Amino acid sequence: MLGVIARLRQPLACAALLCVTLLPALTGCAWREYRPAPLDLPAGEAAFVASRLDDADTRGLLEHYGVDTRDWPDLVWTRETLLVPLVARHPELRAARSRAEAAAARVAIPKPRPNPELSTTLENHSASGTSPWSVGAALSFSVNSQPLRNAQIAVASAEARDAALAAGEVAWRLYRALGDALLEQQSAESALRLADDALALAQARSESVAVRQRYGVAAAVELQLTNEALIAVRRERAVAEGAVTKARARLAQALAVPVAALDRVRVAPWPVLAPDAEAPLPALDAADARAIALRNRLDLARELARYEVAEADVRLEVARQYPQVRLSPGLLWDQGDRVWQLGLSLPLQLFQRNRAAIDAAEARRTAQAQTVLARQSAIASEIESLRQAVLASDAPIRLARLEVEATTTHVQQVQAQFDAGAADALTLINARGLALQARRHLNDAGQAWRQAQWALETGLQSPLPTDPPHQHP
């Protein structure tokens, strides 16, 4: 420490330095008090139970995003309109936004200049001519901390970006769960309608065979087999009805509302193929699909954000290799002598200059760079696979359409024969059974196409139709 000592006349100089130093701390801003924030779990459960989609708050939220609510509460909900309350109120997304806000708050921590440090001394000497007391105060300032603060800000900013992208990933995951639930519900409802038609045909067939057996045209064993088939169809319908119930519960889970909240909610059907369409909508060109996915995918964006964090870590460790110079001016009243002093603190990094930490940070950056490239390659392969799945759904739909057309024509012919008395009821029922089977094949093919299209849409991960509001009751 370098010091220069001068004699002064009044010991009040040290006290004045203490007052000047402490005055900003005492008057610059009020002290913050600790305020506990206990969790209220019963209130959270009550809020979930009270969640609804037909209340005034939800209507106002929809109108905020330009949704036409003139038919409220008889609104036909779509995937896009259901997304609005989902992103505004889903607990997982709220938690993700809170984590992003906490990460953003850390960015401001290194920005202000560091506070000086105050050190004081108070001594009593047993043998002294003028006074037994020594009183002193000194301040310590960092004079070259800006590069280090800049590096710390860069790290915090990169981490905040990663947290914001993580919130976006949560939003897209919830949106995908919503789409999956809607698709499952439509599939279950279609299967239930086909099961109702199958039950009606099975009952008609059983009644027809019973009449035939009564007049001796059909054997008793044929009636028994027909009744067993009827029982099997009833079981299938019960299973289909249970699937509708489970799909409805899954939709409520995706929206984070009780199942009862969907009692008065009508959901529009998933976009289906037009009856006169020759084939499904074509998939995107391979190059266009890859470009869209690489531009939109949040998992790749997060890996890039983590690379920014790794890059900022290298910058931070490099900044830490330079010593932090500190100046320490002070005043001392030492047994009657008044002294002022100036100290300089400079760590001598003779043996290491943070080399180990810099090497480790550079290794992490290299590893993260390889992770980014690996994720990019995986996304390109995934998108091509999803495209091929969409293209592969074309042939089954074409064949199913041809089957429906053929069986419909056959039913019309048999119906004409039945009306003319040239065919019996059982023959007409069997023809309708073949037509029903063809409709089931077309329903399955259409469902596979919708699944493939939805998987490709979620793989491309285009921006969501709406952004969540920053504040909402």
| Residue 404 belongs to domain with CATH number | 1.20.1600.10
Position 25 in a domain: no
Please say whether the beta carbons of 244 and 77 come within 8 A: no
Task: Measure the CA–CA gap between 235 and 217, rounded to whole angstroms.
Answer: 29
Residue 157: how many CB atoms within 10 A of its CB? 17
Angle at 77 between CA 74 and CA 80, to 5 degrees: 150
Position 13 in a domain: no
* Percent of all residues in the chain with a pLDDT value above 70, rounded to a whole number: 82
Render pLDDT for 424-447 as a digit per residue (tens, 0 to 9). 888 999 999 999 999 999 999 999
Position 180 in a domain: no
Render pLDDT for 56-75 as a digit per residue (tens, 0 to 9). 888 898 888 888 888 888 88
Tell me the average pLDDT of the chain.
82
Position 143 in a domain: no
Position 339 in a domain: no
Domain of residue 304: give its range: 273-321+363-461
Confidence of residue 333 (pLDDT cuts 50, 70, 90): low
Task: Measure the CA–CA gap between 9 and 333, rounded to whole angstroms.
Answer: 10
Confidence of residue 250 (pLDDT cuts 50, 70, 90): very high
Mean pLDDT confidence for 32-48: 85
Mean pLDDT confidence for 10-38: 58
Task: Measure the CA–CA gap between 466 and 311, rounded to whole angstroms.
Answer: 33
Res. 346: pLDDT tops 80:
no
Q: Are strands 266-267 and 326-334 parallel, antiparallel or unpaired?
A: unpaired
- Find which of 278-287, 335-344, 395-404 is predicted with most confidence, using mean pLDDT: 395-404
The residues with which 140 forms a beta bridge, in sequence order, are 117
Position 254 in a domain: no
Mean pLDDT confidence for 235-253: 94
- For residues 275 and 161, the model is more confident at 161
Tell whether the torsion through CA atoms of 260, 261, 264 and 268 is positive or negative: negative
Angle at 85 between CA 79 and CA 86, to 5 degrees: 70
pTM summary value: 0.78
* pLDDT of amino acid 113: 66
The number of folded domains in the chain is 1
End-to-end CA distance of the chain: 60
* Percent of all residues in the chain with a pLDDT value above 90, rounded to a whole number: 34
Helix (H) or strand (E) holding 429: helix 425-460
- For residues 100 and 30, the model is more confident at 100
Position 415 in a domain: yes
Task: Measure the CA–CA gap between 286 and 268, rounded to whole angstroms.
Answer: 31
The residues with which 267 forms a beta bridge, in sequence order, are 77
For the ranges 7-11, 48-52, 114-118, 138-142, which has the lowest average pLDDT? Answer: 7-11
